[in-house]
Amino acid sequence: MQTRLVGVQDLSKDDEDAWRRLGEHALEPNPFAGPDFFCLSAAHFKSYSGARVLIAQVGSEFLGVLPMAGVDSPRIPPRRVATVRGWPPAVSLLQTPLIDRTEPERTVDALLGALGRSAKNEGWPGIVLFDEIGTDGPVAASIRRVCEERRCPIYVKDSWERATVSRAGQWANPIDGKRRREIGRRQRQLAKESDAEVTLVDRSADPAACEDFLRMEIGGWKGGERGQAFARYPDIAAWFREWHGRALAAGQLTLLSLDVGSTPIAMHYFVRSGGGIFCFRVAFDEAYARFSPGTLLLSSAMTFLYEKTDAAWMDSATNKENSFFLGMMPERRALARLMIGTGGPVDRAVVSALPLLAKVGAASHKAQHRLASAHIGSRGGPRNPSPG
């Protein structure tokens, strides 16, 4: 099995095609680790200027791909780190690498070996940071076993769960009775007050849908001063328009709209990858906020996708502790923010020491807090002032 670490700009069309083929039959599907997210990001965003792709292949077929957005020099650890996610984070919602299902451990071993050689011979960082990687699937299991064999330390900085549904689980009836009745009540109230039918519309092939979505998103809270509406940033809006066209042409995109009469009041993007569907981006018209249009749309969308596709599961693809999706999708998948020491003795020692450093840092923070509280108390101020 051959490996190569190449700049995104040096990938050929054949390389991208092989990468897409791998994505379709990967052990764990992940569109965010595919070329239509990653290569487009490298073409549009400055943070991807040093983006590289680590490839394991046999002949012209790719068996493993680990995209890395660039290199960072954090304060902790005090070493250069290869980061898998770049900016904006909204275009990289999962960093599980693409691994072929035929020989996962051999492929992971080849990738980790290549990272070690690149650190030794090419000056590539010997520590890799994953901000959001799945930890309860077969890819993570292979990574753990190979890291143990290679003595590559893994430091899990944080872990959490996010919402999913599956055909083998609760997708057929995902929402509990109380919430389902409330959704029905709101939808009937919306129809009555607007004197129009509330319908779910598939706008995937509508040429005006992308621009309608961008306008709807920037018109809501995401368009505010601290919001992350795509249309607020010309480079992200350009990326999104190009991605929309690519995903549509590849048959990966579903765009559903909740309409009142002929007026769209909420829109949600979904991305098909392998045997699953990932939620991607949602927007709603805040004039209808009291009816919870995003909730009405997701409820109808889950039924539509269950009935109209053969997907085995659906991943919310949300950030940490998203209470909305956690309430709508009853199943869970585990994710983590972690580092792997892949380089020489120093890098491995640093990653191995991170749990201790984290404990020392937490203890120092608590001590500083106690000193500050004592200082306030010594000056006569109340340590636990009454809210009244």
Give the H/E segment covering residue 244. Answer: helix 234-249
CA–CA separation, 325 and 308 (whole Å): 21
Q: Which two tokens stand for residue 204?
A: 């995937």
Q: What is the pLDDT of residue 385?
A: 42
Q: Determine the Cα–Cα distance for residues 275 and 26; give it in Å rounded to an integer.
A: 10
pLDDT recorded at residue 77: 87
Question: pLDDT at position 383, please?
Answer: 47
pLDDT in tens, the chain (388 residues): 999 999 999 999 999 999 999 999 999 999 999 999 999 999 999 999 999 999 999 999 999 999 999 999 888 888 999 999 989 999 999 999 999 999 999 999 999 999 999 999 999 999 999 999 999 999 999 999 999 999 999 999 999 999 999 999 999 999 999 999 999 999 999 999 999 999 999 999 999 999 999 999 999 888 887 889 999 999 999 999 999 999 999 999 999 999 999 999 999 999 999 999 999 999 999 999 999 999 999 999 999 999 999 999 999 999 888 999 999 999 999 999 999 999 999 999 999 999 987 776 555 555 555 655 555 555 555 444 443 3
2-161+335-366 and 177-311: identical CATH topology:
yes
| Cβ pair 117, 43 in contact under 8 A | no
Q: Does domain 2-161+335-366 have CATH number 3.90.650.10?
A: no
CATH code reported for the domain at 177-311: 3.40.630.30
Say how many C-beta atoms besides its own lie within 10 A of residue 91's C-beta: 23
- Cα separation, 5 vs 57, whole angstroms: 12
**DSSP track, 83-109:** ES--SSGGG-S--PPEEBSSSHHHHHH
Can you tell me the distance from the alpha carbon of 8 to that of 45, in angstroms, rounded to the nearest whole number? 13
- The domain ranges of the chain are 2-161+335-366, 177-311
